[in-house]
Amino acid sequence: MTIMKPENEAALAEMVKTAQGPIRIFGGGTRDIGGPTEGEVLSVAGLSGVSLYEPGALTLVAQAGTPVAEIESVLAAESQRLAFEPMDHRALLGTSGTPTIGGVVAANVSGPRRIQVGACRDSLLGVRFVDGQGRILKNGGRVMKNVTGYDLVKLMAGSWGTLGVLSEVSLKVQAVPEASACVLLYGLEETAAVDAMSAALGSPYDISGAAHAPIGIDGHSATMIRIEGLEASVAYRVEKLKALFAGAGAEIHVERAPQNVAAGWSWVRDVALMQGGSGDVWRLSVKPSDAPGLVARLREEHPDIKVLYDWGGGLVWIETPAGRDLRTTGFAGHATLIRASEETRRTLRTFHPEPTPIAAITKGLRARFDPRGIFNPGLMG
Amino acid sequence: MEMPVPDQSVIDRKAHIVAQLRAVLPADAVIDDEAETRAYECDALTAYRCPPLAAVLPSSTEEVSAVLKICHREGVPVVPRGAGTSLAGGALPTADSVILGVARMNEVLETDYDNRFIRVQTGRTNLSVSGAVEENDFFYAPDPSSQLACAIAGNIAMNSGGAHCLKYGVTTNNLMGVTMVMMDGEIVEIGGAHLDSGGLDLLGLICGSEGQLGVVTEATLRILRKPEGARPVLMGFDNNEVAGQCVSDIIKAGILPVAIEFMDRPCIRATEAFAGAGYPDCEALLIVEVEGSEEEIAAQLDRIIAIARTHNPVELRESASAEESAKIWLGRKSAFGAMGQINDYMCLDGTIPVSQLPFVLRRIGEMSKEYGLDVGNVFHAGDGNMHPLILFDANKPGDLELCEAFGADILKLCVEVGGCLTGEHGVGIEKRDLMVDQYAPEDLEIQMAVKDIFDPKWLLNPAKVFPLASSDTRRMAAE
């Protein structure tokens, strides 16, 4: 199999323009999510490198194929980071390769800090991409506030390559706070855990992570509340949160060692609980207070499902027996099938079905951005 | 500012169109009397005026749908209007258009503190959204300076920001879902009480689309718990460059103030004369505000003041009380009024990379001399969103045109240094013709192709955002 591997944006545009058939767009190939696609592989790994970084303006511009690790190390040298904490899908999906920033953007990958700082799309300031006709297009820029014309930046984030091949992205970055802490509540059942997370998120204490594992790292129910900031401020908020949870009926423990706080949140971010398993993995986006009831209904049918709540309960990871369609369990929100066999992905579809008028808009947009329908056909349905 | 020639065939059918609108709306919700339609002839960009064919004030999503179905069938352009506070002419009508005002739709539909959202009809004013959750110590974060008057509908259309968006983001970062009526009357739901819907991010696309893709009638907005307290520090510098460097150093130090505001000497002098806030007479002034508990505020201000001292400030004034905080903010908040006291002014809204602040301020000063028009700068420095205020005399022939040319040059400069034409006010008609300076023809083409999908007949607010020459074929084909 030949792989198209342009070394710059102009070559990328030329390859798209002259493509004779469908194209599967690859960053690092670590996020094998979506409907199975046919077509010639186009790797953007050759478009690599940080082209601009202004720590004092909190902005970074990088070619789409730049490894996430490279960006993280460039940022770390200035004590900065990607605020939205993108998940690494490799262990969960059993993939190998090098995650790229273009892949992160194309899949709008966000982590636990989503509840505080927004998703990947909220940190994305600008894009350059090549559309289905091989035109090099741009939208947004590298400034924090920009309402000049339509916001195609948001549209490109999470479009999974179906609208264009990203060539460059600009991102707003964040300073790494000097201190962090994780307040752990042991022993809460799920409704009480979501209530506790809601109380924390509804407090003035600026929570940067709120997750609950019915079976945590050490096998017990654990609710995790993260706070970050100046040392004096973190210490103050830890005490306030302990007081807030005093009546919750949980055993309270405070983790202050930075490496332990980081490890705990990587465990949540990368859904370690479901790594190496054989079931299907679903990602449900729901109203937080709906989550425990939904899980309880699923347990009536499948008592052994694995569950992880993030985003204060608004994001629920569920591992189910293969082939079970979670969408038949009625709920308000969205269910995305993240890990499943090709066969299951074909029959159940990865993305939540859209209402007719929305599906028509989606179809119309794709037809305008990619008139020949060559980009990742079938991936989003 | 050129506007398209109105469609005479629509104007000729006015009675027929109004009769149909009356059939689906209460009698007092259709305004077609020429004296009364004048109330809708402009928004806050008052230099341009044109009464619409008619104005309608529906009270529900269903009524909006009924109105749009009629206008769609009759080929009548529709200009959606929130509270009419647009500085960019976003709600400026044409003589053949119907103004669709959402002012009567101002109900709170649902408040949910556990899940931290509020659902409102979009005619509700920005400040009254916060007002609805204030008793529980929550607030809605985006705070455009027109927040007392401006409607959520307009905030969504323009993706409005405000002084505190450095920490909390702009409208698009706080919008969770919408109920929107398409031009053909179809009602769609996008997003909701959950985060990050699967599929394409249509919510992100709609926010900031200036009323050209649909009419948003209901919105689900993220609400936040109020911080325990907030306190500003004021610092004066004898040099813009040093003030700019100080902003950069604060940001780099990992402190996230909720606001960093910047004023230059012309603006400081004008506000002093107007409001007497006790500002020092210096080249550049920063107001930096932080939030948290008393201890947290003190810890952050200590850091910020230590950074400021390394830049030899001519003044450093930490607020010690609510009264002192109010006094520090007084001048900033009256800056526009103060400039307006001197003369008519035009307020620009370009955004630049923070690192370019000193250069851009210097160039604006030079251009001010070349044009012979005074400029004051007051802006959100943390995110580079500038608000140069150009003073002119509306009664002096040619002065408005001179001011517009100067403004265009400033905005082109913003684009040249890596910034953009508008950070929070929107394009409207005001910056429409400058879009070619920021975008290549194909960049505009793909944006217009998006409108084709939502509004194939180009009836929704058609003369905005895109240069008339670029959108010509599409608007003509639709007629």
pLDDT (tens digit per residue) in A171-210: 999 999 999 999 999 999 999 999 999 999 999 999 999 9
What pLDDT, on the 0 to 100 scale, is given for residue A1? Answer: 64
CA dist A202 and B455 (Å) reads: 40
Q: How far apart are CA B132 and CA B121, in angstroms?
A: 13
* Nearest-angstrom CA–CA distance, A188 and A194: 9
- Among the four given CATH numbers 3.40.640.10, 3.30.70.2740, 3.10.129.10, 2.30.42.10, the one describing domain B343-416: 3.30.70.2740
Closest residue in chain B to residue A116, using alpha carbons only = B168
Residue ranges per structural domain of chain A: 3-175, 179-269, 272-348
Q: Residue range B18-46: average pLDDT?
A: 96
Q: For A254, left (φ over 0), alpha (ψ -120 to 50), or beta? A: beta
Decide if pLDDT at B241 tops 90.
Answer: no
Closest chain A residue to B248 measured between Cα atoms?
Answer: A56
What is the H or E stretch that residue B276 is in?
none
To test the contact with chain B by mutation, choose from A109, A116, A120, A148 the residue with the greatest count of B C-beta atoms within 10 A, namely: A148
Q: How far is A118 from chain B (nearest CA, A)?
A: 7
Average pLDDT over residues A208-235: 94
SS3 A42: strand
Q: At what angle do helices B335-342 and B322-333 cross, to 10 degrees?
A: 40
Q: Which residue of A136, A146, A290 is the best one to mutate when testing the B interface, meaning the one whose CB has the most B CBs within 10 A? A: A146
Quick check: B479 pLDDT over 80?
A: no
Q: Tell me if chain B has a CB within 8 Å of the CB of A235.
A: no
Asked whether the predicted pLDDT for residue A5 surpasses 70, the reply is: yes
The answer, for A204 touching chain B at a CB cutoff of 8 Å, is: yes
Model confidence over B184-230: pLDDT tens digits?
Answer: 999 999 999 999 888 999 999 999 999 999 999 999 999 999 999 99
Q: Is A54 on the interface with B (CB under 8 A)?
A: yes
CA atoms of B43 and B151, how far apart (whole Å) = 13
pLDDT by residue (tens digit) across A135-160? 999 999 999 999 999 999 999 999 99
Q: How far is A1 from chain B (nearest CA, A)?
A: 30
Q: In terms of C-beta distances under 8 Å and separation of at least 24 residues, what long-range contacts does A346-353 make, across chains too?
A: A346/A35, A346/A36, A347/A323, A348/A323, A349/A35, A349/A381, A350/A33, A350/A34, A350/A35, A350/A379, A350/A380, A350/A381, A351/A34, A351/A380, A351/A381, A351/B198, A351/B199, A352/A327, A352/B197, A352/B198, A352/B199, A353/A327, A353/A381
Sheet holding A124-130, edge to edge: A50-54, A59-63, A165-172, A124-130, A136-140
Q: Which amino acid is at B221?
A: L
- The ipTM value here is 0.97
Do A230 and B257 touch, CB atoms closer than 8 A? no
Q: Which residues contact B445 (CB under 8 A, 6 or more apart)?
A: B470
What percent helix, strand, coil does chain A show, rounded to 5? 35, 25, 40
A253 touches chain B (CB under 8 A): no
* Residue A77 exposure: Cα atoms within 13 Å on the Cβ side: 7
Facing B193 at nearest CB: one of A145, A287, A352:
A287
Report the pLDDT value the prediction gives residue B352, as an integer from 0 to 100.
Answer: 95
Q: Does A17 touch chain B (CB under 8 A)?
A: no
Length of chain A: 381
Around Cβ A38, how many Cβ atoms within 10 Å?
11
- B420/A143 Cβ within 8 A: yes
Nearest 5 degrees, angle CA A280-CA A281-CA A284? 130
Min Cα distance A326 → chain B (Å) is 15
On whether the CB atoms of residues B369 and B442 are closer than 8 A, the answer is no
Residue A101 has pLDDT above 90, yes or no: yes
Distance of residue A322 Cα from the nearest chain B Cα, in angstroms: 21
CB–CB of B62/B29 below 8 Å?
Answer: no
pLDDT exceeds cutoff 90 at A165: yes
Give the domain ranges of chain B. Answer: 8-101, 108-225, 230-335, 343-416
Q: Tell me the average pLDDT of chain A.
A: 96
- Which of A 318-337 lie inside 8 A of B, CB atoms? 332-336
Q: Residue B296 and residue A286: Cβ atoms within 8 Å?
A: no
When pLDDT is averaged across residues B161-166 and rounded to a whole number, the result is 86
Regarding the domain delimited by A272-348, which CATH topology (the fold level of the hierarchy) does it fall under?
A: Alpha-Beta Plaits (3.30.70)
Please give the single-letter amino acid code of residue B131: G
- Dist. CA B321–CA B479, nearest whole Å: 61
Kindly report the average pLDDT of chain B as a whole number.
94
Phi, psi of A124 (to 5 degrees): -85, 120
pLDDT of residue B478: 62
> How far is the C-alpha of B71 from the C-alpha of B98, rounded, in Å?
8
Q: What confidence score (pLDDT) does residue B341 get?
A: 85
Both tokens of B374, joined, read 């005074």
Confidence category of residue A91, pLDDT binned at 50, 70, 90: very high
CATH 3.30.390.30 correct for B108-225: no
| Helical (H) or strand (E) element with A140 | strand A136-140
- Do domains B108-225 and B343-416 share one topology? The answer is no
Judging contacts by C-beta atoms under 8 Å, the chain A residues touching residue B182 are 357
Tell me the pLDDT tens digit for each residue of B47-96.
899 999 999 999 999 999 999 999 999 999 999 999 999 999 999 999 99
Q: Among B432, B344, B417, which Cα is nearest to B386's?
A: B417
| Residue in A213, A238, A180, A240 with CA at minimum distance from that of residue A310 | A213
B441: its two tokens: 């023809």
CATH code of B230-335, in short, is 3.30.70.3450
Question: Pick from B177, B215, B145, B227: which is nearest to B424 by CA?
Answer: B145
Residue written as tokens 């950074």? B307
Cα–Cα distance between B238 and B247 in angstroms, integer? 15
* CA–CA gap between residue B212 and residue B384 (Å, rounded): 27
Closest CB to A145: pick one of B170, B197, B203: B170
| Chain A: closest CA distance from residue B208 (Å) | 6
CATH code for the structural domain at B8-101: 3.30.43.10
CATH code of A179-269, in short, is 3.30.70.260
Residue B1's pLDDT is 80
Cβ atoms of A105 and A120 within 8 Å: the answer is yes
A378: left (phi over 0), alpha (psi -120 to 50) or beta: left
d(CA B373, CA B157): 32
Burial class (CB in 10 A: 0-12, 13-18, 19+), B393: middle
Burial degree of A14 (CB within 10 A; 0-12, 13-18, 19+): middle
User: Do the chains contact at A203 and B161, CB–CB below 8 Å?
Assistant: no
3-state SS class at B46: coil
pLDDT band at B404 (very low <50, low <70, confident <90, very high): very high
CATH fit for domain A3-175, picks 3.40.50.1360, 3.40.50.1400, 3.30.465.10, 3.40.50.10680? 3.30.465.10
Query: What is the arithmetic mean of pLDDT over B264-281?
Result: 91
With CB atoms and an 8 Å threshold, state whether B351 touches A145.
yes
Closest CA to B88 of B411, B414, B478: B411
Contact B208 A150 (CB under 8 A): yes
Q: How far apart are CA A105 and CA A127, in angstroms?
A: 10
**Alpha carbon B90 to its chain's center:** 10
Strands B375-380, B388-392: pairing is: antiparallel
